[in-house]
Chain A
Amino acid sequence: MTDSPQEEGLVLNGLTKILGGRVIIDNLHLVVKKGEMVSLLGPSGCGKTTTLRMIAGFLIPDKGDIVLNGKDVTTIGPEKRPSAMVFQNYALWPHMTVFGNVAYPLKVRKLAKPEIEKRVHEALAMVNLMHHKDSRPGQISGGEQQRVALARALVQEPDILLLDEPLSNLDAKLRVKVREDIRDLQRRLGITTVIVTHDQDEALSISDRIAVMNNGKIEQFSTPQELYDRPETEYVANFIGSLNHIQGGFADGQVISGTEVVGIRPEDVHFSTEQVPGSYPATVQLVVPRGHFCEVYLKRADVELHAFISLDVPLAGTSGFVKINKALIYKDGKLVRVA
């Protein structure tokens, strides 16, 4: 969604990694644009961390190439790679102060003292942690540690920023705030970023594009909106958002018998007491409040559906009409059409 020149920042070309005799990453392709923020989203064990560790240089792929800003870095060690990683548990060095942690990459690069001081201060100011400069990692909160780890990565001015579930150790409220902060910083610095997560909300809200992974492969790579509107596989449709999942076929706004799979988003199920074209009679079975909307279970002659309704929520037992605004039809797990 960035409007910057569509230059390639990171290219993963046919990555394959075998660990413990199993193929963990299987011929994976991915092209991330410069300045883009991409999420790797997928269930536990699908290979997100493994992919990220290959990008960072901790693992060398058995097959395939990694190209960063036009340069092949496949076999370059992590210390020479222009990438910076934020670890899931932050990996802050307990024997150094916050300042020492952030200054470390610069000391390694043999920068002059005043320069180091200046850049560390900038980085710490960026994450609002100047007041904790002399604290030890053990003395600050989880959210603050997370920001130190971020500062330590950013101070390196990397070509690519890698984040492995950076928010999973934070509480729900903080998570939302920190992810906004990360997004802001990323936009401001225009830094190419790959973030691993298994939280779809997180992925949908902060990424330019999302790569949904399954079993070491990328199932779909597109913008959050597209991913939601046109999930290319049944797997992705199930993984992102909620879905009515019906075996059969679809014609004239009705579910018919068939061999395909019909996926209907609960938001695309419309209930009303008046009949409109394409709607059919239905009764309300059950209403479950879900906060700012209600989940409503509806029974129609052809199908039972659940719907998300936020205005004019009907009572259980009400009769009315249901219209299906959109249906995704899959054959052999692949999207064949949208009705």
Chain B
Amino acid sequence: MTSTKTDVVAEGLGAAKAPRLSVVGFLMALPPLLLVLFFVGLPVLIAFTFSLGFTTGPNRVLSMIGQEIHKKDQWWGTFSAYKDVIHDPRFAGDMRTTLAITFISTTLVLLMALGIGIYQRMIGGRLASVMTALTLVPLFVPVVIAAWAIHTFYAGDGFMRSFFSQFGIEFPTVTSTVSAIAIGTIWTSLPFAILMVTSGLQSIPDALIETAQDAGAGFIRIIRTVLIPLAITPIVIAGTFTAIGILGSFTIPLFLGPNQPTMLGVEISNFFGAYNRPQQSIVMAFIVFASASGIALIYIWANVRSAKQSGRI
């Protein structure tokens, strides 16, 4: 009468509490992984060896065309290209600009997102909805257009200068300055941050806010002790995604920034193309990647923290 049966049905349905990675599931997950491994992982790996001075094999052509190529002098390669970049005064300026813009824009974007999110959560009403809808507009607009629109708006013959000159005020030409890059990155990053933050704040139950009010907490105190701690995960995610996006941005600084100093995204392209120094270009890409990884760690930490809190791991 007794027989041993396998969990065929249980798989994926009954075993919800401890699902295992079945073979089929693994195969299903494979295609995007392979695509990414082949078209991102592989080139990045090859590029990394190139940055270390491996100039043969797949890197042969680039090494022949490019200028100031360093060949490896140790079995593991050489840091000469990295030294080149780090000692390049151009790079120092670009790196400072990139980090400063990333920091300032991310902070401002987060503050705006928090302001609008808290306004919508605590006060609400039509005005708040209209405002949120308005801030989503940049999501509709391709980056190229956004960059060009902002370019013309703040240009020497743009609206801002035209408008202020009616009152005899000389408004500065913002286009082609570092400030224009900041404006552009804020403009394009707003929607995502606002979506993350508002949805995080909206999911806080009324009861939690109301008990705090009952306990006598004021507006600011509620924000500080209830809203922000409870929505910290989406806030951190918004911040890290925004920062990583800005860090690697290209079109915005290309259209809006000055020639020097500019953001590293543009410089990577310049070094690769115009200056024909591919090795240095790749090195810069890895420096940006390293910075992005640092930020990504914060993102992972935030996710793990929220997973722990809700008992998922």
Question: Contact string, B3-14, partner A, CB cutoff 8 A, digits 1/0?
Answer: 111111110011
Report whether A57 and B2 are in contact in the complex, using a CB–CB cutoff of 8 Å: no
Report whether B5 and A59 are in contact in the complex, using a CB–CB cutoff of 8 Å: no
Report whether B2 and A78 are in contact in the complex, using a CB–CB cutoff of 8 Å: no
Contact of A59 among B1, B3, B14 (CB under 8 A): B14
Question: Contact string, A28-62, partner B, CB cutoff 8 A, digits 1/0?
Answer: 00000000000000000000000001000111111
For the complex, count residues of B whose C-beta is within 8 A of A.
14
A190: interface (CB < 8 Å): no
Report whether B10 and A75 are in contact in the complex, using a CB–CB cutoff of 8 Å: no
Contacts of A64 in B (CB 8 A): 1-2
Contacts of B2 in A (CB 8 A): 14, 63-64
Decide yes or no: A60 and B18 within 8 Å by CB, A13-B1, A14-B1, A65-B1 being known contacts: no
Contacts of B13 in A (CB 8 A): 58, 78
Report whether A57 and B18 are in contact in the complex, using a CB–CB cutoff of 8 Å: no
Minimal beta-carbon separation of B3 from chain A (angstroms): 7
Nearest B residue to A50 by beta-carbon distance? B14
Report whether B5 and A61 are in contact in the complex, using a CB–CB cutoff of 8 Å: yes
Instruction: Give the CA-CA distance A74 to B7 in the complex, in Å.
Output: 12
Report whether B1 and A60 are in contact in the complex, using a CB–CB cutoff of 8 Å: no
Q: Which of B3-61 contact A (CB under 8 A)?
A: 3-10, 13-14, 17-18
Question: Contact string, A213-249, partner B, CB cutoff 8 A, digits 1/0?
Answer: 0000000000000000000000000000000000000
Minimal beta-carbon separation of B18 from chain A (angstroms): 6
For the complex, count residues of A whose C-beta is within 8 A of B.
18
Report whether A53 and B5 are in contact in the complex, using a CB–CB cutoff of 8 Å: no
Report whether A53 and B14 are in contact in the complex, using a CB–CB cutoff of 8 Å: yes
Instruction: Give the CA-CA distance A19 to B4 in the complex, in Å.
Output: 14
Q: Which secondary structure dominates chain B's binding surface? A: loop
Q: How many residue pairs between the two chains, A and B, have CB atoms under 8 Å in the bound complex?
A: 37
Report whether A62 and B1 are in contact in the complex, using a CB–CB cutoff of 8 Å: no
Instruction: Give the CA-CA distance A337 to B234 in the complex, in Å.
Output: 65
Q: Which of A10-26 contact B (CB under 8 A)?
A: 13-14, 19-20
A278: interface (CB < 8 Å): no
Q: Which secondary structure dominates chain A's binding surface? A: loop
Minimal beta-carbon separation of A28 from chain B (angstroms): 12
Report whether A60 and B3 are in contact in the complex, using a CB–CB cutoff of 8 Å: no
Contacts of B4 in A (CB 8 A): 62-63
Contacts of A19 in B (CB 8 A): 17
Nearest A residue to B18 by beta-carbon distance? A20
Contact of B9 among A13, A20, A59, A63 (CB under 8 A): A59
Instruction: Give the CA-CA distance A57 to B10 in the complex, in Å.
Output: 9
Report whether A78 and B9 are in contact in the complex, using a CB–CB cutoff of 8 Å: yes
Residue from A60, A61, A65 whose CB has the most chain B CB atoms within 10 Å: A60
Nearest B residue to A14 by beta-carbon distance? B2
Contacts of A57 in B (CB 8 A): 9
Instruction: Give the CA-CA distance A61 to B6 in the complex, in Å.
Output: 8
Instruction: Give the CA-CA distance A61 to B14 in the complex, in Å.
Output: 12
A77: interface (CB < 8 Å): yes
Contacts of A75 in B (CB 8 A): 5
Contacts of B14 in A (CB 8 A): 53, 58-59
Instruction: Give the CA-CA distance A64 to B3 in the complex, in Å.
Output: 6
Question: Contact string, A51-91, partner B, CB cutoff 8 A, digits 1/0?
Answer: 00100011111111100000000110110000000000000
Contacts of A20 in B (CB 8 A): 17-18
Minimal beta-carbon separation of A4 from chain B (angstroms): 27
Instruction: Give the CA-CA distance A14 to B3 in the complex, in Å.
Output: 10
Contact of B10 among A14, A58, A63 (CB under 8 A): A58
Q: Which of B294-308 contact A (CB under 8 A)?
A: none
Question: Contact string, B90-118, partner A, CB cutoff 8 A, digits 1/0?
Answer: 00000000000000000000000000000
Contacts of A65 in B (CB 8 A): 1, 3
Minimal beta-carbon separation of B11 from chain A (angstroms): 10
Instruction: Give the CA-CA distance A64 to B4 in the complex, in Å.
Output: 8
Instruction: Give the CA-CA distance A14 to B1 in the complex, in Å.
Output: 9
Known: A14-B2, A58-B10. 18 other contacts (CB 8 A): A19-B17, A20-B17, A20-B18, A57-B9, A58-B9, A58-B13, A58-B14, A59-B9, A59-B14, A60-B8, A60-B9, A62-B4, A62-B5, A63-B3, A63-B4, A64-B1, A65-B3, A78-B13
Task: Report 5 cross-chain contacts, Cβ distance below 8 Å, ordered by A residue.
Answer: A13-B1, A53-B14, A58-B10, A63-B2, A78-B9
A interface residues, Cβ below 8 angstroms from B: 13-14, 19-20, 53, 57-65, 74-75, 77-78
The 9 closest A-B pairs by CB, nearest first: A58-B14, A59-B14, A63-B2, A60-B5, A77-B9, A59-B10, A60-B9, A75-B5, A58-B13
